[in-house]
Amino acid sequence: SQQGEEDPQALSIQEGENATMNCSYKTSINNLQWYRQNSGRGLVHLILIRSNEREKHSGRLRVTLDTSKKSSSLLITASRAADTASYFCATDPNAGNMLTFGGGTRLMVKP
């Protein structure tokens, strides 16, 4: 069963636009993480936000977390064709290395 559910399942935008992906989860968490997967590759960790944090930035990435709504969003600003990938949220309930992944959002950035 998937703890996190991403929305939308697929997103197509033009280069330079912002991309927003959402993740909803069901149970309490210690932290929530976002990963990127390029086609045919393994997942790469992007950013981690802890349950006591509301917003976090890393370069062109901005992650928000609303524990009252059990939801998170990932914003990629000024997108590039190289951002084309699938993006997964993953929840960690206990800070014990165990993650449950959502189904992912497929992002296509058109040049």
Partner 1 sequence: DAGITQSPRYKITETGRQVTLMCHQTWSHSYMFWYRQDLGHGLRLIYYSAAADITDKGEVPDGYVVSRSKTENFPLTLESATRSQTSVYFCASSGRDTQYFGPGTRLTVL
Neighbour-count burial for 56-78, b at 16+ CB within 10 Å, e otherwise: eeeeebbbbbeeeebbbbbebee
Instruction: Identify which of residues 83 and 92 has a Cβ nearer to partner 1 in the complex.
Output: 92
User: 55-94 mask for partner 1 (x: CB under 8 A)?
Assistant: ---------------------------------x-x-x--
Q: If binding is defined by CB under 8 A, does position 43 make contact with partner 1?
A: yes
Bond prior to 111 in cis (omega within 30° of 0): no
Cβ atoms of residues 36 and 79 within 8 Å: no
> Please, what is the Cα angle at 39 between 41 and 90, to 5 degrees?
70
Q: Number of residues interacting with partner 1: please give it, by CB under 8 A.
A: 23
Work out the angle at residue 77's Cα, subtended by the Cα atoms of residues 58 and 8, and round it to the nearest 5 degrees: 100
Nearer to partner 1, 59 or 111 (CB): 59
For position 41 contacting partner 1 by CB under 8 A, the verdict is yes
Among 45, 57, 80, 110, the residue binding partner 1 under the rule CB under 8 A is 45
Q: Residue 40 interacts with partner 1 (CB under 8 A)?
A: yes
- Dist. CA 51–CA 57, nearest whole Å: 15
The residues binding partner 1 (CB under 8 A) are 1-2, 31, 33, 40-45, 48, 88, 90, 92, 95, 97-104
